[in-house]
Amino acid sequence: MADHQDNAELLRRWRLILGRYAQPLQGESWTRDDGRLDASLDYLYGREYERKGMLRDRSPGAGGSLDPSQLRAIDWLNQARELFPHDVYEKVQGHAIARYELTGLLRDPFVLASLEPNQQLARALIGMRGRLSSDMIAAVRAIIGRVVEEITQRLRQDFVNAVTGRRNRFRRSQMNSAQNFDWRATIAANLKNYDAASSRMVIARPIFNARVRRSLPWDVILCVDQSASMMDSVIYAAVVAGILSGLPAVNVKLVVFDTSVVDLTHLASDPVEVLLTVQLGGGTNIGRAVQYCEQLVVQPQRTVMALISDFEEGAPPGPLLASLKRMAESRVTLLGLAALDERAQPVYDRGMAQRLADQGMHVAALTPRHFAEWLAGVMQ
């Protein structure tokens, strides 16, 4: 009996994978909800067959059809939200917009407001920003704002803890902060309050560490590649610039580039506005951007220049390497943050990365959280 049920479930899954071209299933193994699920999947992923010219002939008398025209985008969206688990729905929604270009979902502010805000949707909206009508801008801004806020909430405390000061275990603080909590000292100080009857320790006096404060500010220049392959890195760089702009120990300069260079320092504290301003696409001239950043250096020994790029230089590398060499010799701290894809896998030109390292740049492929630790380490 168990083997029969397992086989039936396996057949059902394969039927959903293969879609309309598989042999229909009958009986208890195929329910009404399975039919709705099949129609929803076919509406989106059946487009792959269209691309390859594999659509079945739909001449009169050929039978029923689940062609995409029979399921409007908004109906499909509502049905998909009902049928799929939340994490699966987010992926399917992302595929609809980014891969299969169901732009009908992005033409109505009310429909857009009903979409699940996530980084995949933000990428699609940023990429399509120039093709959206003016009445959509407010809805686009709201979604990008929600995505930025979610990322900021995840990263802010890492940067605050790392950059504003490391914990000083030799000095106590009256500020009751979970990040400063010293559990070892708290246990030691409250051992006398151990209650044997309940096997519990009563914490009468929690102990918190103070933090080392830096008196002199640092200048952090974020030089961000905005070529088409850098979408995720641009989103995170905008968030990081916004977080750092709110820290008293850091002066942030934000520069974005492709073959042109744009100084967005005046927008660095507003990640949403940065993302609505960047123009993703075009070629890459890293050397021109780095030369511009070199002109922004005022106090070399307290300046970090972080190049966020896939290091795919489209111009002759001579000016880039010469500029890095001059900054390294003046004791500017040079960081090269290699691009990561949406699965956090490094995607960059390793040969060029080695040439940058030879000129004194520290190169690594790091998540934003580890970048906070790296940045704090060089600013100690």
Q: Which two tokens stand for residue 7?
A: 């086989």
Section 234-262 average pLDDT:
90
Q: How confident is the model at residue 170 (pLDDT cuts 50, 70, 90)?
A: very low
Q: How confident is the model at residue 181 (pLDDT cuts 50, 70, 90)?
A: low
Section 188-215 average pLDDT:
67
Q: How many CB atoms lie within 10 A of CB 187?
A: 13
pLDDT for 209 beyond 60: no
Say which residue, 292 or 42, is predicted with more confidence.
Answer: 292
DSSP per-residue string spanning 274-325: HHHH----S---HHHHHHHHHHT-SSGGGEEEEEEE-----S-SHHHHHHHH
Section 42-52 average pLDDT:
68
Q: How confident is the model at residue 224 (pLDDT cuts 50, 70, 90)?
A: very high
What percent of the chain stands above pLDDT 90? 26
For residues 41 and 78, the answer to whether their CB atoms sit within 8 Å is no
Nearest to 374 by CA among 308, 275, 328: 308
Q: What is the pLDDT of residue 329?
A: 95
What percent of the chain stands above pLDDT 70? 69
Q: For the purposes of burial, counting CB atoms within 10 Å of the CB of 13, is it exposed (0-12), middle (13-18) or buried (19 or more)?
A: exposed
Section 175-198 average pLDDT:
67
Say which residue, 52 or 340, is predicted with more confidence.
Answer: 340
Q: What is the pLDDT of residue 206?
A: 75
Q: What is the pLDDT of residues 1-42, one digit of tens each?
A: 455 556 667 777 777 766 666 666 665 567 777 777 777 777
Section 247-253 average pLDDT:
88
Dihedral (Cα; 233, 234, 239, 240), 10-degree rounding: 60
Q: What average pLDDT is seen over the chain? A: 76
pLDDT for 185 beyond 90: no
pLDDT for 343 beyond 50: yes
pLDDT for 302 beyond 90: yes
pLDDT for 274 beyond 70: yes
pLDDT for 322 beyond 80: yes
pLDDT for 138 beyond 70: yes
Cα separation, 31 vs 355, whole angstroms: 60
Say which residue, 362 or 143, is predicted with more confidence.
Answer: 362
Cα separation, 181 vs 171, whole angstroms: 12
Distance of CA 58 to the CA centre of its chain: 43
Q: How confident is the model at residue 306 (pLDDT cuts 50, 70, 90)?
A: very high
Q: What is the pLDDT of residues 81-114, one digit of tens each?
A: 777 776 777 777 777 766 665 666 666 677 777 7
Give pTM, 2 decimals.
Answer: 0.65
Q: Which of 155-169, 198-212, 235-249 has maximum average pLDDT?
A: 235-249
pLDDT for 331 beyond 50: yes
Q: What is the pLDDT of residue 380?
A: 65
Q: What is the pLDDT of residue 289?
A: 95
pLDDT for 124 beyond 60: yes
Q: How many CB atoms lie within 10 A of CB 57?
A: 5
Tell me the chain's radius of gyration from C-alpha atoms: 27
